[in-house]
Each structure stands twice: as structure tokens, then as C-alpha cells.
Amino acid sequence: MRRWALTVVLSACAAAMWAQGGRTRVFGVVKDDAGAPLELATVRRNGTAQMVFTNLQGRYELYVSQGDTCTLVYGLIGYEQRKRKFTPLGDSLRLDVTLPALGHTMDQATVTAQHLQTDAMQRLHAEDTRHMPSTTGNAVEELVATQAGVTSRNELSSQYNVRGGSFDENCVYLNGVEIYRPLLVRSGEQEGLSVINSDMVGSIRFSNGGFPARYGDKMSSVLDITYKQPERFEAKLDASLLGASAYVGAGGKHLSFMTGLRYKTTEYLLGSTDTKAEYAPRFLDWQAYLSWRPNDRWSIDLLGNINDNHYLFRPKDRETHFGTMDNPRTFRVYFDGQEKDAYRTYLGALTLTRHFNAETYLALTASAFSTKERETYDISGQYWLQEATSQEELGVGTYMEHARNRLQARVMQGGLTFRTRITAHTIMAGAQWQSEKIREHAREWEMRDSMGYSLPYDPQRLSLIYSLGADEEISTTRWSLYAQDTWRMRPAAGLLNITYGVRVSHWSWNGETLVSPRLSAGFIPSANDRWTLRAALGMYYQAPFYKELRDTTLHEGIATVRLNHDIKSQRSVQAIIGADYSFRALDRPFRFTAEAYYKSMSNLIPYSVSGVRTVYAGRNMAKGYAVGLDLKLFGEFVPGTDSWVTFSVMKTSEQIGGQWLPRPTDGRYSLSLFFTDYFPGTTRWKLTLKAALADGLPFGPPHSDREAQRFRAPAYKRVDVGMSYRLLGGEESTLRTGLRRYVKNIWLGVDAFNLLGISNVSSYYWVTDITNTRYAVPNYLTGRLISARISVEF
């Protein structure tokens, strides 16, 4: 009887399908609570084996027979499951679904879980930058600096080192366009706002190694930023003792628009340094982003940015105490003169995209970047170096520094990107053309007098201790191609994700053609889906830019510059293995991550670091390696909040002239903590703490060979704490009347920078006496400061 009834039901269903004779395309986007797309979420038709995965944008697509009532089940590990029941009748049906994160809810604060990482790109939450204490105004880069394998040793700069790489080895993309920085900045005090406006950020993807072929020719890391597209009106105003910002966004079904204006000044911060001076840093950034989608087939995105940075410095005097308890020293300087710098950059980008379906598109992108930089200073100083207790004079002298440096650069880019999905394969391919024109005029010199004698001492003539002159201009082109495939399989053993691809590039300057194959894999075993295993292997090149071309030769204090046409790209062969383990402790979710890596490097261009400026030798003179281990514990240290702690050990060395030397970025260990907390029983009060401990880096006298840089700076130690109070918003929002109903939140905040008052060293000033004895006087960074801020969200 049961068999007969089942036969009747199946026959009726088959007849209905035959009568209907069509299929409905069901598509949509799966997001988390914060509106971020969820990758690798499953969309399964209940009662059948039909199932698809969402792509990087959280999009999915499947087909069902018309007239059938069916149920789709949406799921992802770490998120609650959702079901949608419907009867498809038309050609297509869009179903967008939000998956709430598993975990606790405190009043209106919901836990947001991170997605499972099966490739080399990890996803960071832009929400974590909102109440974070920030000294640079560049919250996204400061968030990146808290990740495993990443270090930053200057709170005035947003630049960072990744696994032993230099600042220039980090690739940054904004809406698919590669971003460039000013080239003449030599100190964190001069550094302004980066192009990334955290108020406009929609998604943050970061890789500290093993990234796929779609990303360009850098050896260390990739930061991929995508701006959001607001669907309704939103606005925000921020103000603090370090600057102010305003943001407005609006959008609808076909059009979205955002604009942001930021102002930054570090005058308050610089007032806590040893050098007493008239500081007048003024940094301004404006940008706008428009996205227009007239229909489902076409979209146009337009991005514009103007960045205007000015730095004025008139030093007066300085007194620095350093040394040890047994050998204390005092360094006093009285100054005259000033430094006046300006850095103006412009960026424009246009993207035209043809969407063939939810999984296939072809995008044409054109962009232009321009920078005009000026660095001028004439500063003289009279100094006294003394033994602090006995007041014995160790060195007395005068110095004068002069510079007239100017640089103009223009970078034009054009490219095509294609993406499609064929069953379990996500295929991407792209081509890019780039033109660079750079012109530099540099004049700088330094005179030093010690004990009445000019250095270097010559009884026959007056000599400068250092001088440089350069007038250079280049015009080059580059082109690159890439193709990659992401193959997602679900065998009985578990979920397997393999990304393989190759990148080919060519540069007209030296006629070099590079081939860069890359492979990565991620696996989630069915036997224990708490584990995620990853591995990556690839060849990465650091294609030279203008700074690497400058072959600078120093002879008797006179530096000559020539551009090296024989320069080659630096090469790094990288192997990475890692694993994530998700677990619950104290009834809260956590994830522990471990990654080990090895980099074998060749054709290296040795360099030294002065402040935040990297000075290259201009020749391929070395080979080297980097090896290390990164650990990270992420989770709810406090219910309802995201926190993490990272610890890294690393060693990187290079061989120059047969001698192995630590590289300038050889930070042997680092510890970082990002901690957030709410007061018990309320979400009105929120605390954010950032702590960093990083090993000191090798250093040596200025304008010296790498072999002389055998000293090591003390470790960088810093703790910043931010306390925020929500004055208006949250649970009372539906009860407000009048103008108050247009205000979403008002936050008041207090930040304690360098809470422990530790004197960290940014660089050294070298004092040389007539006997050629050198003393390294530390240049300390900022001290302990309290700052106030206010944020109004509409």
C-alpha cells in the first residue's frame, strides 16, 4: 500500500513538472548581521541533493522547476541556519538572506563571527575601527597592524612591516585599483592621511602571504579594500584634538553616493616629544565614490580623491636624557631655522562593468594617480653632549642641514577583469597596462663641526660630511596578465578549496618578463569541522619602482645618483602551512590560528631605513631568507565583543658580499593585543585597548654600508586605551521626537595614548667628535597624552 501511494505521488509530481515545462532561476546574496557578504555559505534545496556555495561577494544561483513548492536552507558554520519556502512561478526570483551569528546577545550588541578562512585572504571587520584609539587617523592600517605577522613601530605612521618585509612590499588595492604613496616622506611627523577613509569602507580583506595571482607584484602582503554602497541616507561627524571628519552617504535601487572630508593635525601629539618647537602639520583629504547601476546588466563606478598635506616645523630647543643607570648622558640642542614640506596627491578611477549573470562579469577599469612633493629645510643647531652626573663634556659642536628636494610622479593604469563560475570552478582573468612618468630634483647637504673642527677633518679645505645632488627623469610602461581558478569540491572527506593561477608581467625599463605561479589550498574535514587546514606555495616578485632604481654611491661624503637600467626584480619563493581550530570556552566562541612560513629570496636590493623612508642600494647585491611562526587567538574574551591576541617569532637575514647580516626588518618577536569590552549590563560604555610589544630593529650610522648596521634598537612597547560613552542612541531611538529622531547615535570618547608613558625610539641622531668617536642619541616618539573626541551618527 505504501509503495503504491509513493508511486502515485511521484507520478503526480512528474506530471505537474511536465505540464509546467519551465525552470525558475533563484539568486540572491547571503550576508551577515553587519551587511558583509558571506563566502562559502551553503544554499541547499531541502529534501534533495541540490546544493551550491556562495562566492566571494556572497552571491548564489540555482534553478528549480516552476510550480513546485520548495524550501531553501541557508547555512554556514558559526552562523544560525535560515529557511525560505516559496513557489516559483516566473523566470527568476531574488532571495536575499541574512544569517545571524551564533553566540550571545547583550541587549542590542550581537556577536559577529568571522567566516572560515579556506584561502590566503582573511576578512577583517570595519566595525572594529569605530571606537579604536587612533593616533594617525588611518584606522584601517592601524587595525591591520594588530594582525599576526604584522608590526608597526611608530605611532605617527600608518606604515607596517609584514613577515620581515619592507614598507614597500605591501600591496594596497582600493576598489580594484592599486594605491601609491608619496615618495619623499622620511618621518612619521610628515606623514598625512592615507587614501583609505574608514567611514566609507565596506569590506577589508588582508593576506600576510601566499595571496593568489590576481594580486600584483609585491613580496609581502595584500590589503584589499572595497567601499560600501549605501542603500539609504547616512551621515557621520567626528571631532577630536587630533582632527575632524565628515561623511555623507545615500543610495537607492540604482544609484549610491558617498563623500568624505577629513582633517588631521598632529600638533598636540608632537608637543609631547623632546624637541620643543612650533609645529604646524595640516593634513586634508577629500574623496567621493559614486556607483550607478541603470539595470541588471551594467554598472558604473567612479572614485575621486584629493589629498593635500603640509608640514611646518620650527624647532627651538631639545634636551634628551639617555644611557644607563651607570652611564647616564644628556644631549642639549638649540636650533635655528625651519622645515617646510608639502605633498599633494590626486587619484581618479572609473570602472565600467558588464554583468552577464550573477556569476559572470567583465569590468573595464581606468585610473590615474598624480603626486607633487616638496621637501625644504634649513636647520642649524648647537649641541652639547655631557655625562649627566659629572657634567663632563663628551662632545660640543654645530651642525647645519639643508635640502631642496622636489618630485613629481604620474601613474596611469588601464585594465580588464573577467570572472565567471562554471559548476565548482570560479575562474578569474585579467590584463593591465601601466604608464609611469617620474621627475626628481634633489639637493641636500649636511655640515658638521665638532670641537671647532669641521668633519670630516681636512686641514687643507672645508668639507661637508654629506652632500647629494640628483636630477633624474624616467618614463616607463608595464603590462601584466593573470589567470586563476578557484576549485571548490565537497568529497566525502570534507570541503576542499584549491586556488591555482599564474601571473605574467613585463617592464620596458629593463626588458624583464616575469612568470609567477601560485597555488593555495584549504580543507575542512567532515570528521571534525572545527579544523581548517591551509597551505600555499608560490613565486613572488617585487618589481622595482623609482626608489629601487636609484643607485647611490657615496665617496668621501659626496653622494652621486644614477638610475640602474640593469636592475632586476627581487624574488621570493614562499611556502606556508597553517591551521585554524574553532572551539567554545566559557560558552563563548573562539578560534586559534597557527601559520608557519619560509621565504627563500634572491636578487635582493639591500636597503636601510631612516625614519619611515627606505633608502635602497640600487643594485641586486644579496640573497636571503625569512622564516617564522604566527599565532593568533580570536574570540569573545568578553561576551558580545571581538578581541584577539597575536604572537609571532621571525628571523630574516641576507648575504652581502659573502657575509650574512640581519635585514633591517629583523624583528625577532612581536606581541599584539586588541581587546574590547562593554560595561556589565549595558552597551552604553565601551572600552577598546591596543597593546604592542615588538623587538627592536638593527640600525647603524647614517650613510653607512649595511655591514656597519650591527646595533639593535630597544623594543617598541605601547598601550593605547579608548573609552566611549553613548550619550544618545540604542534602545531609546524609537522614543525620540523632534530633531533628535534624526540622530542615530552620539558617542563621547576619551583616549589615553601611550598609557604607560614609555619612551620609544624612532631613530638616532649621531654625534661625532674629532677623534671619530660616535655617539647614538635616541630620537624619542610621543609621550603619554589624553585626548577627547565626539562622534555623531545620523
| Among the listed residues 225, 117, 227, 124, the one whose alpha carbon sits nearest the alpha carbon of residue 171 | 225
In this predicted structure, which of 6-10, 169-173, 459-463, 499-503 has the lowest mean pLDDT?
A: 6-10
Sequence-distant (≥ 6) Cβ neighbours of residue 564 within 8 angstroms: 549, 550, 551, 618, 619
Is residue 104 pLDDT above 80, yes or no? no
Q: Which pLDDT band, with edges at 50, 70 and 90, does 789 fall under? A: very high
Is residue 19 pLDDT above 70, yes or no? no
Is residue 187 pLDDT above 90, yes or no? no
Q: Provide the mean pLDDT of the chain.
A: 87
What's the confidence (pLDDT) of residue 491? 87
**In the chain, pLDDT over 90 holds for what percent of residues?**
58
- C-alpha R_g of the chain: 29
Q: Which residue would you say has higher pLDDT here, 83 or 644?
A: 644
Averaged pLDDT, 315-320: 92
CA–centroid distance for 33 within its chain = 24
Calpha distance 76→82 (Å, rounded): 10
Is residue 3 pLDDT above 50, yes or no? no
Q: Which residue would you say has higher pLDDT here, 650 or 97?
A: 650
How big, in percent rounded to 5, are the helix, strand and coil portions of the chain? 5, 60, 30
Averaged pLDDT, 33-52: 81
Q: Which pLDDT band, with edges at 50, 70 and 90, does 770 fall under? A: low
Averaged pLDDT, 455-480: 85
What's the confidence (pLDDT) of residue 33? 73
Is residue 23 pLDDT above 90, yes or no? no
Calpha distance 306→611 (Å, rounded): 25
Calpha distance 289→285 (Å, rounded): 14
Report which residue type is found at 791: S
Q: Which residue would you say has higher pLDDT here, 706 or 234?
A: 234
User: C-alpha grid cell for residue 333?
Assistant: 640642542
Cα–Cα distances in angstroms (integers) from residue 589 to residues 135, 581, 632, in the given order: 31, 11, 14
What's the confidence (pLDDT) of residue 5? 40
Q: Which pLDDT band, with edges at 50, 70 and 90, does 120 fall under? A: confident
In this predicted structure, which of 443-452, 454-463, 571-580, 702-711 has the lowest mean pLDDT?
A: 454-463
What's the confidence (pLDDT) of residue 453? 66
Is residue 454 pLDDT above 60, yes or no? yes
What's the confidence (pLDDT) of residue 554? 79
In this predicted structure, which of 113-127, 418-432, 456-470, 645-659 has the lowest mean pLDDT?
A: 113-127
Calpha distance 619→563 (Å, rounded): 10
Torsion of CA 708, 710, 711, 714, to 10 degrees: 140
Calpha distance 407→575 (Å, rounded): 38
Q: Do 160 and 138 touch, CB atoms closer than 8 A?
A: no
In this predicted structure, which of 28-37, 361-370, 439-448, 540-549 has the lowest mean pLDDT?
A: 28-37
Averaged pLDDT, 255-282: 92
The DSSP secondary-structure symbol of 697 reads P
Q: Which pLDDT band, with edges at 50, 70 and 90, does 324 fall under? A: confident
Is residue 427 pLDDT above 80, yes or no? yes
Averaged pLDDT, 9-28: 53
Report which residue type is found at 80: E
What's the confidence (pLDDT) of residue 575? 97
Cα–Cα distances in angstroms (integers) from residue 664 to residues 183, 484, 611, 651, in the given order: 19, 34, 12, 11
Is residue 697 pLDDT above 70, yes or no? yes
What's the confidence (pLDDT) of residue 451? 65
Phi–psi pair at 561, nearest 5 degrees: -120, 135
Q: Which residue would you say has higher pLDDT here, 108 or 46?
A: 46
Kindly report the pTM of this predicted structure.
Answer: 0.85
CA–centroid distance for 78 within its chain = 26
What's the confidence (pLDDT) of residue 49? 73
Is residue 175 pLDDT above 80, yes or no? yes
Q: What does the longest C-alpha to C-alpha distance in the chain come to? A: 118
Averaged pLDDT, 98-116: 50
Averaged pLDDT, 452-474: 80
Is residue 576 pLDDT above 90, yes or no? yes
Q: Which pLDDT band, with edges at 50, 70 and 90, does 20 fall under? A: very low
Q: Which of 14-23, 166-175, 632-641, 741-750 has the highest mean pLDDT?
A: 166-175
| Among the listed residues 438, 504, 442, 514, the one whose alpha carbon sits nearest the alpha carbon of residue 476 | 438
Which helix or strand (DSSP H or E) is residue 448 part of?
strand 425-450
Q: Which residue would you say has higher pLDDT here, 102 or 513?
A: 513
Q: What is the DSSP string of 571-622?
A: EEEEEEEEEEEEEEETTEEEEEEEEEEEEEEEEE--EEEETTEEEE-SS--E
Averaged pLDDT, 350-361: 93
In this predicted structure, which of 292-301, 679-688, 756-765 has the lowest mean pLDDT?
A: 679-688
Per-residue model confidence as pLDDT tens digits over 582-611: 988 888 889 999 999 999 999 999 998 887
Per-residue model confidence as pLDDT tens digits over 392-405: 777 788 889 999 99
Q: Which pLDDT band, with edges at 50, 70 and 90, does 8 fall under? A: very low
Q: Do 427 and 421 touch, CB atoms closer than 8 A?
A: yes
What's the confidence (pLDDT) of residue 771? 67
Q: Which pLDDT band, with edges at 50, 70 and 90, does 10 fall under? A: very low
Q: Which residue would you say has higher pLDDT here, 317 or 24?
A: 317
Neighbouring CB atoms inside 10 A of 218's CB total: 21
Averaged pLDDT, 91-116: 58
| Among the listed residues 268, 257, 323, the one whose alpha carbon sits nearest the alpha carbon of residue 137 | 268
Is residue 480 pLDDT above 60, yes or no? yes
What's the confidence (pLDDT) of residue 21? 46
Per-residue model confidence as pLDDT tens digits over 710-724: 889 999 999 999 999
Is residue 730 pLDDT above 70, yes or no? no
What's the confidence (pLDDT) of residue 632? 96
Q: Which of 37-41, 76-80, 423-427 has the highest mean pLDDT?
A: 423-427
What's the confidence (pLDDT) of residue 707? 82
**In the chain, pLDDT over 70 holds for what percent of residues?**
92
SS3 443: strand
Q: Which residue would you say has higher pLDDT here, 2 or 695?
A: 695
Calpha distance 227→247 (Å, rounded): 13
Q: Do 30 and 63 touch, CB atoms closer than 8 A?
A: no
Is residue 463 pLDDT above 80, yes or no? no
Calpha distance 411→504 (Å, rounded): 20
What's the confidence (pLDDT) of residue 14? 39
What's the confidence (pLDDT) of residue 64? 84
What's the confidence (pLDDT) of residue 1? 40
